[in-house]
Structure formats: C-alpha cells, structure tokens
Structure 1
Amino acid sequence: MTVYEAELVVDRKEFAADGVLALTLRHPLGEELPAWEPGAHIDVVLGPELERQYSLCGDPADRDAWRIAVLREPDGRGGSAHVHEQLGQGDKVRVRGPRNHFALRPAPRYRFIAGGIGITPVLPMLAAAEAAGAEWTLLYGGRTRRSMAFTEELSRYGGDRITVAPQDETGLLDLTSVLDDVPEGTLVYCCGPGPLLDAVEARCPAGLLHVERFAPKEQEGGENTEFEVELAQSGKTLTVSPDVSVLDAVRAAGVEVLFSCTEGTCGTCETDVLDGTPEHRDSVLTQEEQESGETMMICVSRCRGKRLVLDL
C-alpha cells in the first residue's frame, strides 16, 4: 500500500493552551492533502531518529490544510522540544500518513472522555457525531484550565453536553457519572494519559470502549524465545533471536518496511500475518483484532510458536 509522504510548510503556529502549540500544515505548492477521518494521525519527521505521531485535530473537509497540536513535555524524548523551540512558521517538515487506528464507528450515542492533549483526536469526532445527529457527551479533564487546549473551540457546541473539569478545581475526573448505566448502543471513546485509560478500561466493557494511547501500555508478555519468520514476498526465512525484534531482523535482512515509534503505539509497522500465531505486545490493536491474528506490530510483538509467515 502506497503511503502519502511529502514536505509540508508550517503555515501557522499558535498556542492553543499553556504548553500546547497548534500547527497548521499546508503543501508548499497548494496541492490538496489526502482525505482523512476522525481519529487519524500523521507521522512527523523532525530529524534523524526523531519521528513522532500527532493526531489530526482540524476539519476533515478541509483538504488544503492539516492541523496538529503538540504538548511540550519537559521529560520527553525530544520531539515536543524540537517543535516548540526549533520548528517555526514557514519551515518545512516531512510528514507521512494519515493512518487511523482510532476510527469513529457509527452509533446512535457516544460518550467521549479526554485527558489533556488527548482532546486532539476527539475534536473532529465531536463534529462528526454532531453532523450525524447522534447523541453525545464529552468529559474533558486536565491539570489546570489554562493547560487545556481548544476549550474556546468547544464552547461553540453550547448546552450541557460538555463537562470541562480541571483537576485543580474539581479533582480527578468523575468517571462514574459517565460510565455507569451506559445506554445500549452507546460507544465510549477515550484518549489521554495511561492512568486515565486504565481507569476507563477497568470500568467499561471492552466491546463498547475504544481508546488511543500516546505511550505503550504495560504488557505481560512471556519470556522471549527464538523463532523463525518467513517473508512471503521476499522469499527469505529469518531467525529471530530472543534479544532481537522482528522489525530489526527484517531490516537486517535488507527488507524495507515502514516503522516509527518502535514502541507498539503508532501502528506504522502493522504487517499482515499469513500463517502462525503472533504474541501481541502492542498498544494499538483491539482485543478482537489481536485475537484474529490477521496483523501484528512487528516492532514489539513476537511469535507464540516456532514460526510466522509475514506478507513482506
């Protein structure tokens, strides 16, 4: 599958909240950008070995521009610092995508929960739910009101469907009010820090819940063992030792494959499994998708047996 990749121009750069920069990206020649749907993200290549994923939080109908928002993380790995300190208006940046592992499924009712920068993929979901005539509510939390992005943009919806709950004013989010007595046919979408997602997962039936993680979920994978991987397209058979990932083994064999986070959170390296049973260690696929065994994230996942056949 061909993935869109291009250098885009930072057309606009502005603060959406304390510590949150919103960037509007356009093609330097004015070309249309690929279509996307709520929940999609793009890969942003900030430099050698510095690539990050950011949710698209603008209007999917606007094919002339993409909007992302970046939280400054003082203890991060350098991506947010690069965006905040070095990437300026008029600069070019290479992007790939969009990809979507957090797609909004049709439903008559939604309950959205966002924590901090997790509001970014939820913003276009609200607009889509509104346009579809669905019932919806949003519970939005953050450290302080000033740190919560796009609150002014949310105010256009009016009514009491949106609850903005800064922690310094209201304490931890009242998940009980949102997740108890969920009506039949309701889907729950949640994005934010790991502790929030863990709390929501503990309260919400898996079939109703859709989450997106910005950091890898703690895994309970077993001991790494050696196994073989057959690459169906390339005609190669590789041995993956316990201290090597499938991704690293494939690259060492000279086979080109797209990858980014190497943590199992972005979905870039998702690969079709033709035979064998993966041991999933990613934070992207739903439980149902993992149980189907049709694809795997080769940066972190391994094999439950002795052999896998991949469509590479």
Structure 2
Amino acid sequence: MSEYSRDSRYITTRITADGRDGYPVEPGRYRLVVARACPWANRMIIVRRLLGLEDVLSMGICGPVHDERSWTFDLDPGGVDPVLGIERIQDAYFKRFPGYERGITVPAIVDVPTGEVVTNDFAQMTIDLSLEWARYHRDGAPALYPEALRAEIDEVNDVVFRDVNNGVYRAGFATDQDAYEKAYQRLFDRLDWLSDRLAGQRYLVGDTITEADVRLFTTLARFDAVYHGHFKCNRTKLNEMPVLWAYARDLFQTPGFGDTIDFVQIKQHYYEVHRTINPTGIVPAGPDLRNWLTSHGRESLGGRPFGDGTPPGPPPAAETVPASNGAV
C-alpha cells in the first residue's frame, strides 16, 4: 500500500520567555514567514492576529506558488523580503544549516539580526505565541490555550491532525486505491464525529475559541475550494454538512479568522503546484464563495468567542487580504 507520509522532522528550537534555547522573546527581533495559501501557516497568521502581536512579531508573506527549492517572496517589490533581504525562505534555512536536507516549509520564524531560521515546528509555534509571548499580548487577548483545558485541547488536536488536517493530504497524495479509500473513510468518519461533537456546543473545547478551533478551521476553509475536488475528498462538500458548515461560517465571520483567508492564493497554490495531481495546472473558477457570509445561527448555542477578552482590531493595511480574493 502506498500511503502518504508527512515529513515531520522539524526544527524544534523554541523562542521562549527565558531564552533557554538561545532565542529569548524580544519585540522586533524575529520575523514570521508565512504563505496565505498554506493551512499550517494560516494558523500562525490567525493566532498572531487574535493575540495582537502584529507590532511585536513582523510578518513576511510568500507568494502562493513555489518550486522544488522553496517558497519565494515574489509578492514583494523586486521579489525580495524587505526585512530579511532574501528572495527565498530557503536562504534563511541554509544560513543556519548549510546543506539543510529536510523540508523547507512555512510557517518559519527567522532571527532578523543573523538572518537564520529559528524554527518551523508549526504545532509548537502557535502554542508558544500563546504562552511564551504572553507579556506582549494585546489588552483583551483571548486565552487560546488555557491551562484547565490543555489536556482536552491536546487530545482533540491529535485526532484532528491525524484524520482531518493531514487526512486530506493522505487522501489526495495516495498512489493506490486502497490507501486512498482508507484515508477517505478516516477523514469522513472524523468529520462525522466532529459534527456530533459540535451539534450541541459552539466551540470544540469549552465555551470559547481555543487553539483547537484554529487548527480545524484552516482545513475547513479550504475544503470546498480545494480538498473536495483536488484531493478527491468528495463524499460531501463542507456546505453539505450542516453543523460543520455553520461552525466554519461562525469562525469565518469572527475577526481574526475569515480576514486571513485568501481564496485566490489558496486555489493557485494547490492547483498550480501539485502537478502530479493536476498536470495542466488549471485553476478552477469556482466555487462561489459568497455563502461564507450568510447567517450561521450558532449564537443560539451560547459561548463567548473571546471569553473575557475582546475581538482584535482590523489587520494592518499591508496585511489585509484584497476583498476580491475573499468571500465578497
């Protein structure tokens, strides 16, 4: 059986309040490098927004299409990141690890003074923004990883990663029928489980938005535009799963979530880069995404999106998704 296996050998160096790995939290020292197309990077964009770290941790945005070497800063003037002065995120990896042979991925955090990558361990990175960077959170920042709920959040995150976040890739990149069908079944079994869980509660864990909701949302946001067709996850579209569709719209319409989603770049990335799946590179014109802004009715379940906190303000002008690329 030829089953897709994600390379999970990440750079596990951490940026911490006490600097125990040699990289202390310092405003302005680091640059978060993302691509709006990437669901793993999208998590960092959302968490950074919710916690109000825009002025503390700068963000470089790669374009949606990359080659076999790495993501590039082709959206910037001259194709060069204005802070790091590089054309490819690969350069920051090689600066710290010459001849680096593992995956050159986003999100990644780069130490600006040295130009060296610090970490690309995406699962730990969002949690560290919540815990290690707490001193610099905005007033009213939500508790995305509250201590009392961490065990349950971790448990939910584990199954969601395995069966949903990574599950769509296991279906999409399977190279034989049996591997594909097993991944497909696991995905939709888990989506049904999530639908049952969310039928009576507004959020995945507790009554506020947590890290668990961020991690599920970035997959759901890409489901109909990409995974349903491109990855053959086509039992049902998201908008045909009533509970998950309402849940996803609820989050999408929450400040910090939908305003990070660039549907045009998402489609460009998957359909243009994955030529083994889509040899022509043609990007589909659909689906119609205006229904993301329709009423979801999830308020009836109660819940407090930001707990005792407040919504984030609008994104900085330089980080705003063009209206034409969103759900207008």
Tell me which structure has the larger Cα radius of gyration: 1
Asked if TM exceeds 0.5, the reply is no
Higher relative contact order structure (alpha carbons within 8 Å, sequence separation ≥ 6)? 2
Higher strand share: 1
Structure (1/2) with the larger helix percentage: 2
Q: Which TM-score applies when normalising by structure 2? A: 0.29
TM-score normalised per structure 1: 0.30
